[in-house]
Amino acid sequence: MRFHCIILTAIIIILWCDIAISEDMEFSSITDTKSKIESSYKITKGIFNIDINGDGTQDIVITGHRSNISAHGFNVHSFYIVTPVETPMMQPLPGGTESLNIIEIKEQEKDFKNSIFAIYTSPFDGEHIVSDLRLIKIKAVKGLFLLKTYRKISISNSYVDPSDTFLDIYKLKYDELECRYLFIKINSFKTKTKYKNAPEALNELGIK
């Protein structure tokens, strides 16, 4: 019995540490971030299944496209966690055992006014992509982080010119009080080089 208690205590400590690492994870620079990335996942159009929170269940990313006569169409991405129905606040899917929980996206955790439930990216003409998304796995951390790469187009340059480019990193957090999932921005880095195509900036993180 004592041996079983010791094993149970060790498991609890390991799980607690895993959660704590995920909550406290931050990145000091692009180089630091690069050293911590284990893998990355490109988000495909349509319905994309991937385990976002690391619980072993396939979650859902939905990407749709809004066309335009010019090259200024855009993609819209929304993220959903699939979980067992554990509280009355969770709305069950048909069948009654699982719930589909949309992930709220916030620039600042304590900003209660500005929340979005979808994130936009601009493929422009396909050669001069303005913004792009990846999901990334960090070493020894449960769950995935969201990575947004985008070029800041200024008045003095055009969409086809090299532009200041940024890498924004969002961590996944679960709000137990309100039973909701959030992607919260924790870092934003300016790349060393200006780029004509946003995904090319991922090379600075070792992502192809």
> What pLDDT, in 10s, does the model give residues 23-78?
567 799 999 999 999 999 999 999 999 999 999 999 999 999 998 877 688 999 99
Report d(CA 165, CA 188) in Å as an integer: 10
Q: Please state the rounded mean pLDDT for residues 84-93.
A: 77
Collapsing DSSP to helix, strand or coil, 204 comes out as: helix
Whole-number pLDDT of residue 24:
64
Least confident of 124-133, 182-191, 199-208: 124-133
pTM of the model: 0.84
Is 2's pLDDT higher than 60? Answer: no
Is 22's pLDDT higher than 90? Answer: no
- State the number of CA atoms in the 13 A half-sphere of 206 facing the CB: 13
Q: Which residues pair with 50 in a beta bridge?
A: 59
Report d(CA 54, CA 52) in Å as an integer: 6
Top-ranked range on mean pLDDT: pick from 18-32, 109-123, 175-189 = 175-189
Least confident of 14-28, 31-45, 128-142: 14-28
Rounded to whole angstroms, what are the CA distances from 96 to 44, 92, 113?
A: 29, 5, 32
48-56 contacts at long range (C-beta below 8 A, 24 or more positions apart) = 50/135, 50/144, 51/144, 52/79, 52/81, 52/103, 52/135, 52/143, 52/144, 52/172, 53/81, 53/142, 53/143, 53/144, 53/172, 53/174, 53/181, 54/142, 54/143, 54/144, 55/83
DSSP state of 195: B
Is 193's pLDDT higher than 60? Answer: yes
